[in-house]
């Protein structure tokens, strides 16, 4: 239950925040906008998000294959999705639980899965920066977000390909860390070796291009919402707003609060009413963040009650 404590806090905080935010807007316009989108519209958004999750798993699966692992495709999909249950943790760090599932059920080395996690994150970051560029022509004061993210991406690449300092830190941490954490720090050299493979230009480029396609699905859903509620801004700019908001909110756990606020501010800046901007932000997050959390929880339940034949006993 402790692993879900942060999730419970996040849900409560989100409900309170959405409630207060809704109270500050015209309730009649909010209900009218929600009614206009309807159940079929929400199902459409869920399908787009599901496409995103499937494509990102394909990238993860082929990264592990690149490192020589052979996890079962469909059980691996559930292991990957299980990480979404803890996506509201700071920096989405809780998603690393999927690495434990891959180790326990498919024998994937910790160094391999954490290297895949790093490459996955970096490819997503680069994909979001590329897609956000469509909005940067309209919002010059948000360009600092992209520069910060580019600096972060550059630092990650420098650390991976020039890992001397990080390796020394890993050795010290292994020496003084609690016994349960020692295996993770002991894997630091293998982690950097595997990361260098996954962050080589051809692999990183392929992962980034797949990320552009996968994130475009959710971003298109955001643009579709705006068009349904009367905004005529080009889809390219709306896709950019979605990704720029995701980048701006990435400094908070799961982007909670920050992403919604950035979406609303940017939508108002292109002519949306505050009530409509609220509906778009909340419905979009319901179909992306909270839908992912639900899928993650269901996947965790499946994994806990369905032992895999080749599971590793620990």
pLDDT, tens digit (0-9, with 9 covering 90-100), for 117-129: 888 988 998 888 8
| Cα–Cα separations (whole angstroms), residue 97 to 76, 94, 113 | 13, 6, 10
DSSP-assigned letters across all residues of 219-275:
HHHHHHHHHHTT----HHHHHHHHHHHHHHHTTSGGGTTHHHHHHHHHHHHTT--HH
pLDDT band (50, 70, 90) for residue 4: low
In a domain, residue 79? The reply is yes
CB 246 within 8 A of CB 259: yes
pLDDT > 90? residue 144? no
Rounded to the nearest integer, the mean pLDDT of the chain is 83
Question: For the segment 293-303, what is each residue's pLDDT rounded down to a tens digit?
Answer: 999 999 999 99
Q: Specify if 161 maps to a domain.
A: yes
Assess contact for 91 and 172: CB atoms under 8 A: no
Q: Tens digits of per-residue pLDDT, 82-105?
A: 999 888 776 666 778 898 899 999
Residue 158 lies in a domain: yes
What is the mean predicted confidence (pLDDT) over 240-251?
83
Mean pLDDT across 226-242: 92
Q: Lowest-confidence range among 16-25, 113-122, 277-286?
A: 16-25
Q: Is residue 311 part of a domain?
A: no
Model pLDDT, residue 314: 38
Question: Considering the domain boundaries, does residue 153 fall inside one?
Answer: yes
Contacts for 96 with CB less than 8 Å, ≥ 6 apart: 83, 114, 117
Query: What is d(CA 128, CA 208) in angstroms, rounded to the nearest whole number?
Result: 9
Residue 48 belongs to a domain: yes
CA 266/CA 135 separation, integer angstroms: 9
The answer, yes or no, to whether residue 27 has pLDDT greater than 90, is no
Instruction: Identify the domain containing residue 292 by its residue range.
Output: 2-305
pLDDT reading at 29 higher than 90: no
Number of folded domains that form the chain = 1
Among 157-166, 184-193, 194-203, which range has the highest average pLDDT?
194-203
Residue 183 pLDDT exceeds 90: no
Residue 312's pLDDT band (cuts 50, 70, 90): very low
Residue 148 has a pLDDT of 76
Residues 215 and 52: beta-carbon distance below 8 Å: yes
Give the predicted TM-score (pTM) of the model: 0.84
- 314 located within any domain: no
Examine residue 173 and state whether it is found in any structural domain, yes or no. yes
Helix 164-176 / helix 188-198 crossing angle, nearest 10 deg: 150
From CA 7, how far away is CA 13, in angstroms rounded? Answer: 10
User: Which residues have C-beta within 8 Å of that of residue 47, sequence separation ≥ 6?
Assistant: none
């Amino acid at each position: 239950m402790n692993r879900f404590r942060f999730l419970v806090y996040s849900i409560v905080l989100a409900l309170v925040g959405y409630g207060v935010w809704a109270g500050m807007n015209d309730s009649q316009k909010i209900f009218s906008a929600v009614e206009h989108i309807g159940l079929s519209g929400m199902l459409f958004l869920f399908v787009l998000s599901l496409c995103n999750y499937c494509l990102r798993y394909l990238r993860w699966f082929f990264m592990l294959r690149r490192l020589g692992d052979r996890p079962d495709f469909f059980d691996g999909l559930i292991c990957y999705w299980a990480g979404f249950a803890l996506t509201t943790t700071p920096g989405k760090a809780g998603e690393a639980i999927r690495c434990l599932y891959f180790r326990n059920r498919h024998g994937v080395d910790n160094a391999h899965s954490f290297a895949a996690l790093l490459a996955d994150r970096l490819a997503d970051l680069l994909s979001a920066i590329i897609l956000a560029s469509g909005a940067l022509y309209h919002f010059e004061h948000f360009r600092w977000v992209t520069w910060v993210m580019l600096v972060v991406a550059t630092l990650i690449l420098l650390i991976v390909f020039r890992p001397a300092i990080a390796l020394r830190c890993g050795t010290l941490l292994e020496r003084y860390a609690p016994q349960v954490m020692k295996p993770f720090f002991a894997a630091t050299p293998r982690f950097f070796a595997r990361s260098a493979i996954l962050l080589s230009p051809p692999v990183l480029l392929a992962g980034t291009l797949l990320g552009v396609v996968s994130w475009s699905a959710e971003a298109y859903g955001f643009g579709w919402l705006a068009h349904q509620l009367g905004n005529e801004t080009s889809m390219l700019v709306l896709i950019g707003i979605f990704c720029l908001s995701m980048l701006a909110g990435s400094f908070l756990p799961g982007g909670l609060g920050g992403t919604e606020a950035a979406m609303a501010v940017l939508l108002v800046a292109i002519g949306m009413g505050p009530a409509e901007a609220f509906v778009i932000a909340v419905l979009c997050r319901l179909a992306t963040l909270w839908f992912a959390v639900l899928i993650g929880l269901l996947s965790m339940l499946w994994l806990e009650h369905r032992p895999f034949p080749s599971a590793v006993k620990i």
